[in-house]
Amino acid sequence: MNNVILQLNNISKSFSGVQALQDVSLTIRRGEIHCLAGENGSGKSTLIKIIAGVVLPDSGEIIINGQTVRRLQPIDAIRAGIQIIYQDFALFPNLTVAENIALNHELAQNKRFVNWGEVRQVAQTALDQIKVRIDLDTTVDRISVAEKQLVAISRALLQQARLLILDEPTTALTHREVESLFQIIKGLQPRGIATLFVSHKLNEVFAISERISIIRNGRKVVDTAAQSYDQSEFVYSMTGRRFDEQRYNYQAAAADGPPLLRVERLSAPESFADISFELRAGEILGITGLLGSGRTELALALFGIRPATAGTISVHGKAARIASVQDAIRYGIGYVPEDRLTEGLFLSQSIARNIVVRTLDQLGGAPRLLSMSRLRQSVATWVQQLAIKTSSPELPVRTLSGGNQQRVVLAKWLAGAPRVLILNGPTVGVDVGSKHELHEIIKGLARDGMGLIVISDDIPELLQVCNRILLMRKGRLAEAFDRSHVTELELTAKLIEA
């Protein structure tokens, strides 16, 4: 039993009446790769925070390296080698890569002066350990999400990590980046470093984990070896439901009239070039491509964040000049960004306020004309439609689980009733059950006449919800696929083809 790093016994925790965890037990062994799965709001992040000493459980026992720890504090967890990589990575954006990795380490030595040469050297060694190359002198606000994660991991390893905990580590990564992250995690195993990670992506869970624990409504329902576990059983254990997704059958609302959105030869230097396509009412158009393919830049141009410099956009047959977000909104275009955890929400404000903020914006500062009861009604409708798990819409968004915060962003945009809605990675970080629900909502919006663009590199998702899929490569449209004429395998192969 001395290879057990961490043992949790019967942990319970409630937040003002919400039972987040009940009687959860968990064992983590040396070098083990353990997946923690569960629907949005099931209690995963809460459990992780308890292990980190950030949240105190109401009851239960925590045993670290064979010793029972009472009132575990963050510093105890760190001393015991427990390192958590949070979703926002907790890095300092205006410090360099080297400083982010090594400053803690340097400060811990209790010296009077920081030795900057040493900082760089320590940082370099840490990056070498995971065989990664990132420019040490770049400030962290200028590196990619994947690189930020690697910086956070290197920093964690420097603190003698024995257990690395990753909360949804692959959310903002592309296929290749996920692959290399997995290589790094596997590389830690021979050194006895265990990894506990939260993921909603089935293929990933099965690709890497040795053990799987599933939490449903705050209770542990499964704890098993991954090898012998079946994928459909996994989904069922997580959700308590069986799924059978229908593909979306597009009925062009007015195939002879002008398209809702027409883009012709749109270009923006160093982002994308010569992009042309049409979107009709009732259509769901998928856009896929690897990171750097220009897919997000295209969306940003359509939404006026980084306007295109050449080419034309027309909405309902009329030329549309989109030079700002205000322009885009005026033409009825909405955009749900990729990086929802940091963009678009006021975490300390109520769920209700966050949902109606767009609508208020659109009314151009005349909120008094809108009756409070109608606003409340609208909020209630979206909370219910998107099944946002909360005891009251008046609570701050901060109290919601990650996946539920994402739904608030979606609700905010839907409440503004756009004609064209661009969704960037709409179900990233969303559990399988909710993913199914979100897909149904997207199809419902199309059925009601909205035109939707779904940007994603989740191929099964694109095939489920889209009518057509455009593939971007190096800033250009490489190929277009009709959903009924392409398989998942073909499309995946096309996607990763350089």
Q: Which stretch binds ligand ATP (CB under 6 A): 65-73, 239-247, 367-375, 396-404?
A: 396-404
**Closest distance to ligand ATP from the beta carbon of 174 (Å):** 21
Q: Does 46 bind ligand ATP (CB under 6 A)?
A: yes
Asked if 83 touches ligand ATP (CB under 6 A), the answer is no
Counting contacts by CB under 5 A, is residue 402 touching Mg ion? yes
Counting contacts by CB under 5 A, is residue 38 touching Mg ion? Answer: no
Residue 45 sits in the site that holds Mg ion (CB under 5 A): yes
CB atoms within 10 A of CB 405: 22
Among ligand ATP, Mg ion, none, partner that 433 touches (CB below 5 to 8 angstroms by kind): none
169 binds ligand ATP (CB under 6 A): no
In the complex, minimum distance from the CB of residue 389 to ligand ATP, in angstroms, rounded to a whole number: 5
Residue type for position 488: E
Residue 404 binds which of ligand ATP, Mg ion, none (CB < 5-8 A, kind-dependent): ligand ATP
Q: Which stretch binds ligand ATP (CB under 6 A): 41-49, 105-113, 128-136, 314-322?
A: 41-49
* Range in contact with Mg ion (rule: CB under 5 A) among 58-66, 327-335, 400-408, 471-479: 400-408
Nearest CA-CA partner of 422 in 327, 338, 360: 338
- Token pair of 356 as six digits: 């109606």
Minimum gap (Å) between residue 42 Cβ and ligand ATP: 4
Specify whether the CB–CB gap between 35 and 212 falls below 8 A. yes
- Quick check: 354 binds Mg ion (CB under 5 A)? no
Measured from each CB, the residue nearest to ligand ATP is: 403
Q: Give CA angle at 53 (49, 57), nearest 5°.
A: 75
- Which partner, Mg ion, ligand ATP, none, binds residue 40 by CB below 5 to 8 Å per kind? ligand ATP
237 is a site residue for ligand ATP (CB under 6 A): no
Using the contact rule CB under 5 A, the part of the chain among 38-46, 121-129, 298-306, 311-319 near Mg ion is 38-46
Rounded to whole angstroms, what are the CA distances from 446 to 90, 161, 186, 407, 454?
38, 48, 43, 18, 12
Task: Report how far residue 266's alpha carbon sits from residue 294's, in angstroms, rounded to the nearest whole number.
Answer: 12
Q: Which of 53, 402, 426, 451 binds ligand ATP (CB under 6 A)?
A: 402
| 162 neighbors 81 (Cβ within 8 angstroms) | yes
Q: Which x/- pattern over 354-393 shows residues binding ligand ATP (rule: CB under 6 A)?
A: -----------------------------------x----
Contacts of 10 (CB under 8 A, 6+ apart): 23, 24, 25, 59, 60, 61
Per-residue string for binding with ligand ATP, 406-445, x by CB under 6 A?
-------------------------x--------------
> Binding residue for ligand ATP (CB under 6 A) from 3, 10, 15, 225?
15
Binding at 43: pick from ligand ATP, Mg ion, none (beta carbon under 5-8 Å per type):
ligand ATP
- Single out the segment in contact with ligand ATP by CB under 6 A; choices: 226-234, 299-307, 394-402, 417-425: 394-402
Q: What gap in Å lies between CA 91 and CA 140, rounded to an integer?
A: 8
48 vs 194, which CB is nearer to Mg ion? 48
| Token couple for 418 | 């756009």
Report the nearest approach of ligand ATP to the CB of residue 144 (Å).
23
Amino acid sitting at position 186: K
**Least spacing, CB of residue 36 vs Mg ion, in Å:** 10
Of the listed pieces 34-42, 95-103, 330-338, 474-482, which binds ligand ATP according to CB under 6 A?
Answer: 34-42
Instruction: Classify residue 478 by burial, with Cβ atoms within 10 Å: 0-12, 13-18, 19+.
Output: middle
Least Å distance between CB 366 and ligand ATP? 33
Out of ligand ATP, Mg ion, none, which partner does residue 389 contact, by CB within 5 to 8 A per kind?
ligand ATP
Q: Give the residue with the Cβ less far from Mg ion, 22 or 378.
A: 22
What is the arrangement of strands in the sheet containing 67-68, beginning at the earlier edge strand?
Answer: 18-29, 4-15, 59-64, 67-68
425 binds Mg ion (CB under 5 A): no
Residue ranges binding Mg ion (CB under 5 A):
45, 401-402
List of residues contacting ligand ATP (CB under 6 A): 15-16, 18, 20, 38, 40-46, 389, 399-404, 431
